[in-house]
Chains A and B, each alone.
Chain A
Amino acid sequence: MNGAELVLKVLQQQGVDTIFGYPGGAIMPIYDAIYHSTVKHYLCRHEQGGAFSAIGYARASGKVGVCLATSGPGATNLITSLADALLDSVPLVAITGQVSQAVMGSDAFQEVDVLGLSLSVTKHSFMVRNVNDLAATLQEAFRLAQSGRPGPVLVDIPKDIQLAPAVEPEWPEYPAPRIATSLANAAKARQLIADAKKPIAYIGGGVQMADALAQLQTFLAESAMPSVTTLKGMGSVARANPHYLGMLGMHGTQAANLAVQQCDLLICLGARFDDRVTGNLAKFAPDAKVIHVDIDPAEINKVRFADCAFIGDMKQILPAISAPTQCEDWLAHCLQLKQQYGWRYDHPGERIYAPLMLKQLSDRMPDNSVVCCDVGQHQMWVAQHMRFNSPRNHLSSGGLGTMGFGLPAAIGAKLARPQDTVIAVSGDGSFMMNVQELGTIKRFRLPVKIVIVDNQRLGMVKQWQQLFFNERYSETDLSDNPDFVALAAAFAIPGHTITRKDEVESALDAMFTWPGPYLLHVRIDEKDNVWPLVPPGAANEDMLTETN
């Protein structure tokens, strides 16, 4: 056995059966080991696409995603995906081939300092210098990727290590990790909740990652308080909960933003006061005391001071801080906000109105469908107008906001959950960023449904140019887009274009009825914008809407 074969052994030992990647010179020994391995490798058409597929796989399944790339350009192509995984706390192990140690540091062919390049976009990066350290390093990478706040870990393996004779080690039994959790502040938190007149729960992606959704529903029911979610927290609150107000922040619902601005106690669960959530930080929830629960100590007091903080296991903390509230008037007020500012879909004209189309998609998609987004206006419309019953069913590049995320993430999600419908909702700009992954869909005959919301613009940038740059539309016109249906056809993927409202329902039905991959090209009016919008520097109650 050589080092490369040992890499595959470790993957099997870690329970990995699906990996994504692209071969090249410095990782050829590992690809040679893949040739006879039971670990299934999915050949992507660009390393960034492969890593996004691994992220989609991880986010849809809760397992660790694994991606491979060769040295030099292969590894540099991973950087964006690693950054995406870091900012969205996705457990990912990236294995890169490196030139042999004998030529390292000599500017050898396809040599780049991957360890140095990757440090700021990973939780940690390893370089293996001795084949005897290889198995333990990979095992440590898997442990680290999943422990505490999950994240990406890179392991750079020189070619000579891959080729060196290796011995299968004893596989140590790792005890289940214990998360240090202090409940010393529990009584204080319960008192804050009991005393609050206008409490609200602000829920991020950390609740799902802590596997604490059941504890969350109980907490919300026992305390009877309204709730809002971040983009990554969407799907955390049971659909039946009447006091859920939707997403908060720059494109959040008016009810969510107004309620948060008016609250006197903000209970932040697995979220991090991101600037897209808070708007003008000094004016965010100005009268609120804060209870902050997170597994990452560095998030406490980073952006907003916490009156009461908990670091550790959400599953233990939520039951410990649960307390009944006496806030019927507040609940009634929030329900009234929700009713007053509900979405309206009575858009004039025959052209397709994207929010309505996405609501129709949401209503028609099978239960437990996974929706993978790209970035831009369509991403915010998905967040506003589609409903999810788990954060694992809404994969959206939140922290990094990476165009090109959606299509490869959908590939990973489909491989993780072949029994569930997977839909990639993309924009005409984002779709072109990783369009080569249509080749992966074709090769593996993956029945991914693709919906392109096409306004022939870089819509979100154009919207900001319209509102804040005096309508100077610099480099946002995409009216020379390719024929998307013909493009899909080149990859043996059938498709259809619709332009009118009355075509939507039958087109969605046709897409879902078709057994294989399908591309639905939806032409919309370029004048449609995302509302509401909190302008830069404004407080969250100062939302721009279509009518103001």
Chain B
Amino acid sequence: MQHTLTITTSNEASVVERLLQVTRYRGYQLAGLELTPLTDRAGMQITLKVKSDKPITLLTNQLAKLYDVQQLALASADVAVLRA
């Protein structure tokens, strides 16, 4: 199943590799990645698409506690599935 995560992070140089490392280690396959520097403050908005048969919360819980992650949201369709 594919999920889309929208993540606001700090602008540290290691942010992206850290996100990808956790994604790989926890057993999720990368299906898409988009980076947008935030103009109004030092940070980035990252859209991460991942595939896995595992519950997506096992990944979001790990990503949310990373030091450089400021906000993390699942696309609304994914949230609806989680609540179903």
Contact = CB atoms under 8 A, between A and B. Distances in A.
Interface of A: 115-116, 119-120, 123-125, 127, 144, 148, 296-298, 300-302
Nearest to B66: A124
Contacts of A120: 21, 25
B67 A144 contact: yes
Contacts, number: 31
Contacts of A123: 67
Contacts of B58: 301-302
A481 B8 CA distance: 55
A302 B65 CA distance: 14
B39 interface: no
A5 B16 CA distance: 33
Contact of B64 (A119, A144, A297): A297
A124 B68 CA distance: 9
A297 B14 contact: no
A116 B21 CA distance: 10
Given A116-B14, A119-B14, A297 B21 contact: no
Contacts of A124: 66-68
A517 to B, nearest CB: 40
Interface of B is mostly: helix
B75 to A, nearest CB: 21
B21 A296 contact: no
A119 B25 CA distance: 12
Contacts of A301: 57-58
Contacts of B18: 119
Contacts of B62: 298
Given A123-B67, A124-B67, A144-B67, A116 B17 contact: yes
Nearest to A140: B67
A300 B55 CA distance: 13
Interface string B11-35: 0011001100100010000000000
A215 to B, nearest CB: 25
A296 B62 CA distance: 10
A115 B64 contact: no
Given A115-B14, A302-B61, 18 more contacts: A116-B17, A119-B17, A119-B18, A119-B21, A120-B21, A120-B25, A123-B67, A124-B67, A124-B68, A127-B13, A144-B67, A148-B65, A297-B61, A297-B64, A298-B62, A298-B65, A301-B57, A301-B58
B65 A297 contact: yes
Interface residues of B, number: 15
A144 B13 CA distance: 19
Nearest to B61: A298
A40 B70 CA distance: 37
Contacts of A300: 61
A127 B15 CA distance: 12
A302 to B, nearest CB: 6
A148 B66 CA distance: 12
10 contacts: A116-B14, A120-B21, A120-B25, A124-B66, A124-B67, A127-B14, A144-B67, A297-B61, A297-B65, A301-B57
A354 to B, nearest CB: 37
B4 to A, nearest CB: 20
A115 B17 CA distance: 11
A302 B21 CA distance: 18
A301 B68 CA distance: 24
A19 B58 CA distance: 37
Contacts of B14: 115-116, 119, 125, 127
Interface in B23-60: 25, 57-58
Most chain B beta-carbon neighbours within 10 Å: one of A123, A127, A302: A302
A294 to B, nearest CB: 11
Contacts of A115: 14
Contacts of A144: 67
Nearest to A300: B61
A299 B13 CA distance: 28
Contacts of A119: 14, 17-18, 21
A115 to B, nearest CB: 6
A409 to B, nearest CB: 27
Contacts of A148: 65
B9 to A, nearest CB: 13
A125 B18 CA distance: 10
Most chain B beta-carbon neighbours within 10 Å: one of A115, A125, A144, A298: A298
A1 B68 CA distance: 31
Q: Would you list the 10 A-B pairs with minimal beta carbon distance, nearest first?
A: A298-B61, A124-B67, A298-B62, A119-B18, A120-B21, A297-B61, A298-B65, A115-B14, A119-B21, A119-B14
Contacts of B57: 301
A296 B61 CA distance: 9
Contacts of B21: 119-120
A127 B17 CA distance: 15
